[in-house]
Structure 1
Amino acid sequence: MREVTRILPPYSLESFKNLHAGEHVLLCGHVLVMRDQAQKKLFDMKEKGENLPIDLSNTVVFYAGPAKPIPTMPAGAIGPTTSKRMDKYLEFLYLQGVLATIGKGDRSEYVKELNKRYRRVYFVTPSGVAALLASCVVKSDILAFEELGPEAIRLIEVRDLPLFVWIDASGQVFRNAVNR
């Protein structure tokens, strides 16, 4: 049986630097949830010299748009969003202190190089399991841009969120590791 690595808070570069492409991880702790519109707003604010409404240092960002919570759970279904659309904001996020991102699908060669340069990690979680992922969420709060609805920035607390390392901190990509 494949070994699973559990990552616990507080997060730091040390938390992720020894992970390898293809490794199975269970993530515990706080994760920021945001998508395209929220990232654009943060980027535009920084470009204008404005203070950001949240601190991104030592965080993990999950590209997702959660459904409305249901009465018995803190979050509704929460599935990953295609990550490639977020590539243009990734270096900005890394420069603000984001340590890792979570999404679905492959990323550009540019992202592989950014991960290597900044020693960051990109995780994937399977699509089609949004209800299962919601069961890992123990708390969910809107932090910024509530007017964006499901694209608002949320802080979720997760317990044993199942992930795979797709691009590790050395720039190794899972599909390449499998093909070697």
Structure 2
Amino acid sequence: MAQHYIRVPFEDGVELELRAGDQVFLTGTIFTARDAAHKRMVEQLEKGEALPIDLTNQAIYYVGPTPAKPGAVIGSAGPTTSSRMDKYTPRLLQEGLKGMIGKGYRSKKVIDSIAENNAVYFAAIGGSGALLAQKIKSSELIAYEDLGTEAIRKIEVENFPCIVVNDHKGGDWYKESQANFKQS
């Protein structure tokens, strides 16, 4: 397992260097979106409409942040369960999405689509939303304001910590970790 410091959006090919279990610190621009925003984006694509954001080489953080306290950039910003986005993810990967950040397992269809599209799925530590929020330096509402906390936001992060769960070669950190545990 290696440690990487990566700028987002991803430079071409950087996701190809990542392997399941690698520790990654992301710095730059990512977008937030949960299931309601994913549904709306896929519906727009099906209608032939442009998305409100360019997904090329981009990462989406599956989060619905709480309201910011006075003087804070954002409220608690812990990851949500990624499987809620699974039925929309392959289509967004086809649009150039390269990274997703959440928690929990992904479906076989998503794992296969990650490999087909040379993408990566990261886990952020659930239950640590207040700590993760400290890595978010700015937050701007971009689209779907009517969705409230599920609206799309553009956030700037600095050394945002996550772990590669699924890589473009089919590696699965969850399965590998379980197998290693059973052997010990």
* TM-score, reference length from structure 1: 0.94
The CA distance in 2 between the partners of 1:112 and 1:48, in whole Å, is 26
Match runs of 1:59-70 below 5 Å? 59-70=58-69
Distance 1:136 1:116, change over 3 A: same
Question: Contact 1:38–1:151 (CA<8 Å) still a contact in 2?
Answer: yes
The CA distance in 1 between the partners of 2:133 and 2:79, in whole Å, is 11
Match runs of 1:12-161 below 5 Å? 12-161=11-160
Moved more, 80-89 or 66-75: 66-75
Query: Which secondary structure state, in structure 2, belongs to the residue aligned with residue 98 of structure 1?
Result: coil
Residue identity matched to 2:175: N
Distance 1:173 1:3, change over 3 A: closer
Instruction: Report the CA distance between 1:146 and its aligned residue.
Output: 0.6
Distance 1:13 1:90, change over 3 A: farther
The CA distance in 2 between the partners of 1:126 and 1:172, in whole Å, is 19
The CA distance in 2 between the partners of 1:48 and 1:8, in whole Å, is 32
Instruction: Report the CA distance between 1:10 and its aligned residue.
Output: 4.5
Aligned length: 179
Instruction: Report the CA distance between 1:31 and its aligned residue.
Output: 0.7
The CA distance in 2 between the partners of 1:11 and 1:43, in whole Å, is 22
Question: Contact 1:13–1:119 (CA<8 Å) still a contact in 2?
Answer: no
Question: Contact 2:140–2:154 (CA<8 Å) still a contact in 1?
Answer: yes
Per-residue deviation, residues 53-77 of structure 1 (Å, max 9, x unmatched):
2211121011110111122221110
Instruction: Report the CA distance between 1:3 and its aligned residue.
Output: 4.7
Per-residue deviation, residues 107-163 of structure 1 (Å, max 9, x unmatched):
111121111111110000111000000000000000000111101000000001110
The CA distance in 1 between the partners of 2:51 and 2:19, in whole Å, is 32
Moved more, 63-72 or 159-168: 63-72
Question: Contact 1:30–1:157 (CA<8 Å) still a contact in 2?
Answer: yes
Per-residue deviation, residues 70-96 of structure 1 (Å, max 9, x unmatched):
222211100101001111111111111
Query: Which secondary structure state, in structure 1, belongs to the residue aligned with residue 111 of structure 2?
Result: helix
Query: Which secondary structure state, in structure 1, belongs to the residue aligned with residue 28 of structure 2?
Result: strand
